[in-house]
Amino acid sequence: MDLEIDNVRFVLQRCLTQEDFRHWTALAYAMGWYWMTRATGEGVRWFAALLAIGSGDAKAQARARFMRGFLAVLQADPAAARPALEQAVASAQEAGPLNLLAQSLSLASMAASMAGDRTSARHQADQARVITMALDDLPSTLMFLQSRALNCLFEGDLERVGSGAN
């Protein structure tokens, strides 16, 4: 990926210039996993530019806001993560898919815990649990377990952190 990053940036910029939200979102969502490990700040800048354009496509909005929120959680920035993830939840409730809704709720729970809002964190975690348990989706399950473990850590419940946040 490092060898092609300039080409990817060119395509992303072209999609932004032409306001091609659908293609931009597909590429940027896939790039999100790269940005998580290599260039979180760059990913944040790209998603900020994309979300400034907007789109009527709720599914694309959900993916873009989910990834923006995910990057903000990684940067320990709950002030940026919470609104992005709340909007991802709303968009995913409107357009699906359920696995994106479950993952968005789990991440929103983490962001709420980071912000010290335990009530919202518990509520979002409970919603994520209900949806996740109805799915047979490994990424949603892992995201849910991560959020439960982090929430338990913030609550000081180290026994539940160590036991897989049952």
**How many domains does the chain contain in total?**
1
Residues above pLDDT 90, as percent of the chain: 46
Question: Which of 24-33, 56-65, 102-111 has the highest average model confidence (pLDDT)?
Answer: 102-111
Per-residue pLDDT tens digits for 41-52: 888 888 888 887
Segment among 23-27, 69-73, 86-90, 142-146 with least mean pLDDT: 23-27
pLDDT in tens, 29-40: 888 888 888 888
Residue 162 above 70 pLDDT? no
Give the structural domain span for 32.
5-162
pLDDT at 86 over 60: yes
Mean pLDDT (whole number) for 74-84: 93
Asked if pLDDT for residue 25 goes beyond 90, the answer is: no
Query: H/E/C letters for each residue in the chain?
Result: CCCCHHHHHHHHHHHHHCCCHHHHHHHHHHHHHHHHHHCHHHHHHHHHHHHHHCCCCHHHHHHHHHHHHHHHHHCCCHHHHHHHHHHHHHHHHHHCCHHHHHHHHHHHHHHHHHCCCHHHHHHHHHHHHHHHHHCCCHHHHHHHHHHHHHHHHHHCCHHHHHCCCC
CATH of the domain at 105: 1.25.40.10
